Amino acid sequence: MEDAAGDLKQALPNVCDDVQIHVEVHQKSSSVAKKEDIRMSVLKLLNRHNIVFGDYKWTEFDDPFLKNNVQSVAIVDTELKLEDRQPIDLSTRSLSLHIFHLNEEGPTSENLEEENEDITAAHHWMLPAGPPGTGKTSLCKALAQKLTIRLSYRYRYGQLIEINSHSLFSKWFSESGKLVTKMFQKIQELVDDPDALVFVLIDEVESLTAARSAFRAGTEPSDAIRVVNAVLTQIDQIKRYPNVVILTTSNITEKIDMAFVDRADIKQYIGPPSTAAIFRIYLSCLEELMKCQIIYPRQQLLTLRELEMIGFIENNVSRLSLLLKEISRKSEGLGGRVLRKLPFLAHALYIQSPSVTMTAFLQALSLAVDKQFEEKKDLADCV
């Protein structure tokens, strides 16, 4: 085995010698091991398995220390630097290890007191936290998670404040911008901690810009525009700090006026998930179902990259992986929330037993996808 690895290393082209490889190490919540000890053990692991093909994750370990202290070791983001799937010799690469705990406590509410009433102004996460979903808001949360992990050498922890724009009008209308200022004062307290990387997420920001448009048209009272202007003023004040990242989402881009657009350094359109993204969503759902033994026996599936690399080999693994790829392809056009629900619906609608084989489950999933598109068509015909 060692001779084969040596032959592979010798045959490797000198590709991307300047590429830095990022390794994310998820330390178990119960672990109190020192980061330096974990770092040394992970480096030994990577030294033993130093040839990888793109992104890869270890979740099972022979080393007792890693087994007791580490949830996973993942080589990530290689596709951002390597155009084609190529063998990577880790022993010749610059490795950047990011060791982190996940916060499992969930969000807390930021409440503001006004006239004997507690108003929930925002939700507050300590980062990094649990896994994100697949939509725009989840992408923003994932970005916050990733930056918190990558910048852990500079900031000791991250914090995420999620503000729902609708609440600014539904509950704060009569008080104009006063409560907005109170909320941002709380955010300012977080920003004042130089060890904290603070993310402020304003969801559905088009509701603020819609109010500005309605005010100009004379259909919105002046109190609403005070709320919007207060938000803009507060954003301008806190964005000057180096430890603040402001994120916004919108479903109706044409309603965002230039006052908001001009403040954005990066603007990114998020379309429906691609076939590759859908495949990964389904694959993660299948993994969870296999862990719970709803799908049994456990069946290994190939990733799309592995399918492309080896081509089609006549065996059960390739056949099932290609079937999942075909289901992913015909699922194009469905949103992330629907895609996450489909495996559950497949089991509820088409599986009549507590456990099922992978083959039978994929057949049920295919039927659930067909049913979803039929329902969408029926709804469209009714409009």
DSSP code string of 74-95: EEE-GGGT-SS--EEEGGGSEE
Shared-domain flag, residues 95 and 113: no
Shared-domain flag, residues 219 and 294: no
Shared-domain flag, residues 120 and 217: yes
Shared-domain flag, residues 314 and 241: no
Give the residue from 99, 121, 149 where a domain finishes: 99
> Is 3 domain-assigned?
no
Helix spans in 12-164 (H): 35-48, 64-69, 136-150
Give the residue from 232, 261, 290 where a domain finishes: 261
Model pLDDT for residues 188-230, shown as the tens digit of each residue: 999 999 999 999 998 888 777 665 666 566 555 566 677 778 8
> Is 245 domain-assigned?
yes
Domain extent at residue 130? 108-261
Specify the range with the lowest mean pLDDT, choosing from 42-56, 170-184, 243-257, 334-348: 170-184
Model pLDDT for residues 98-128, shown as the tens digit of each residue: 999 988 777 777 666 655 556 666 778 788 8
Asked if residue 172 lies in contact with residue 179, where contact means CB atoms within 8 angstroms, the answer is yes
pLDDT over 50 at 303, yes or no: yes
Shared-domain flag, residues 128 and 252: yes
**pTM, rounded to two decimals:** 0.74
Task: Look at 166 and 332; give whichever has higher pLDDT.
Answer: 332
Shared-domain flag, residues 85 and 112: no
Q: Among 143, 160, 134, which Cα is nearest to 283's?
A: 134
Helix/strand/coil for 44: helix
Number of structural domains found in the chain = 3
What is the average pLDDT across 296-319?
81
Q: Among 249, 162, 266, which Cα is nearest to 207's?
A: 249
Shared-domain flag, residues 234 and 136: yes
pLDDT at 109: 75
Strand partners, 248: 202
Residue with tokens 């599936």: 301
Task: Look at 168 and 361; give whichever has higher pLDDT.
Answer: 361
> Is 80 domain-assigned?
yes
Shared-domain flag, residues 112 and 35: no
Strand partners, 110: 122
Give the residue from 227, 261, 295 where a domain finishes: 261
Shared-domain flag, residues 219 and 145: yes
Specify the range with the lowest mean pLDDT, choosing from 39-43, 117-121, 306-310: 117-121
Shared-domain flag, residues 205 and 308: no
> Is 234 domain-assigned?
yes
Query: Residue 232 — pLDDT band, cuts 50, 70, 90?
Result: confident
> Is 56 domain-assigned?
yes
Q: How far is CA 33 from CA 11, 60, 103, in A?
A: 38, 18, 17
* Degrees to nearest 5, angle at CA 381 with 375 and 383: 110
pLDDT over 90 at 68, yes or no: yes
